[in-house]
Structure 1
Amino acid sequence: MEHPDHIAAGSMQHGPVRVGVGGWVYAPWRDNFYPADLLRRLELDYASRHLRAIEVNGTYYSAQKPATYAKWAEATPPGFVFSLKAPRYITESRPLAHSGKGVDSFIYGGIEEMGDRLGPILWQLPPSRKFDADDLDAFLQALPRVLNGRPLRHVLEVRNPGFLCPAYVELARKHAIPTVFTDSPKFPSLADLTGDFVYARLMRSIEEIATGYEDRALDQWAAHAQAWAAGRDIDALPHVGATQPAGPPREVFVFFISSAKLRNPAAAMALQERVDRLG
């Protein structure tokens, strides 16, 4: 599946749906996703023309130089976006409300070099972090929302069961911060719509299946992605509160992460194909 240049436009009825994977450097993808003779320096170029988004995990562990962000952007086609996973030294800090210096260092440390390739910034809270409404409120309030005239999009992934409460959903909606939906059985799973885009991380790929997920599951996720993009909530997915009435179209990001990583590119391409066919 080649990468069409018009994907960013979406439509009047639906927001665009971008399906991708975590990272682009993974040895088992050689002669599986990547051609055996592909030069390693061309892996991002290749991946970005077969996927519509990539979640960058490297920024979670160490800061990148502005030139690196610029290089990533230059290697990718129009309409492609990166999601950047925010540094763990910020999300693991105590309290979050005092992490402003770290947040500014990351936000103003060069990511503007990505230009329109910059997608959502993912703030992943560790399982050890319990829900503290006052601390989280202060943190979300302080997140920069504009960078060099471009809106910044933030999304929050919560991994402690204490977040499965109406108070959290209300707080996230107050700040219009989407909450990650994951199908992983290891972490809290809530599909409550709390922002103006949707971000899902699918973590159940199976190595024995060429496309990672069975056809029936991919069909179902394609239908879910289209429903989200059309502004609809999904009763079938777990919620903390009541499902919301239909709203305006939303942009949707779906990433295949972890699990049988070998199969994730095939899963992403198979899901994107289904979404486009439904669209």
Structure 2
Amino acid sequence: MTLSVAEDGLEFRRPFNQVVKQYIHLSNTATDGSVVAFKIKTTAPKQYCVRPNAGLIAAGGTRDVEVLLQAMKEDPPLDFKCKDKFLVQSITVPADVATLDSDAQTARLQELWARADEAKKGGVDNIIEKKLKCTFVGGNEGVSVPTGIPLPSTATPVKASPSTPEAYNTPAAAPSTAASDRELRDAKEAIKRLTVACEGYKSEIERLNQLRQRRTGGGADDKGGVGAAGLGQVQAQAQGLAMPLAIALALIAFILGAILF
């Protein structure tokens, strides 16, 4: 086996009303210099966050994968039997994959995993797998309970997950810091553009309002006739600009809310 998994299972200790962290320790034990690609799946992808959930390990290298059990509203009963499982998969990949840039590497790994899955369906299994069972601990272990006093078990049990191999799904990884920074920069640029547009709309509305006031105060146009048609046109233009201004302000408020909250 090229990829070695240190754990036989994962234990998550109470209380579960907060995030509980565990680790999967991976080692590439290849002696021929082979590079290994791995990915991690679970039967309960909504319950766990894994970072990273996929990656590469050079020959002789190690990788610690962080597994986060998401906080629950209440602890499950003390006698609850967790049925969640993890599946660690690995394949050997060409050494040049490790030298590719991020996008090219992702595309190449997707191709290699797809080939390995197709080969497995055809009877040639090049995927090394190890299953890890999850256990919830920290209940009444080592606690002396007086006779006749039952242990509390009023908490709502968590929903059991399917345990068949087909139920394994790649868990959601934690948000990328680089992606978050990029989204923040894009949002700031969008706010700048909208702010400039708002200033333009406001200046135009002020100009039209001043023009309307002059026409209203003058009472007549240059030829001695009442400028009602011109005044109506100015009012229509001002109203037409007010709507884009309101939309732009609403967009700025929405983007600021998304960034701050």
Q: TM-score interval w.r.t. the shorter chain?
A: under 0.3
**Higher strand proportion (structure 1 or 2):** 2
TM-score between the two structures when normalised by the length of structure 2: 0.21
TM-score between the two structures when normalised by the length of structure 1: 0.20
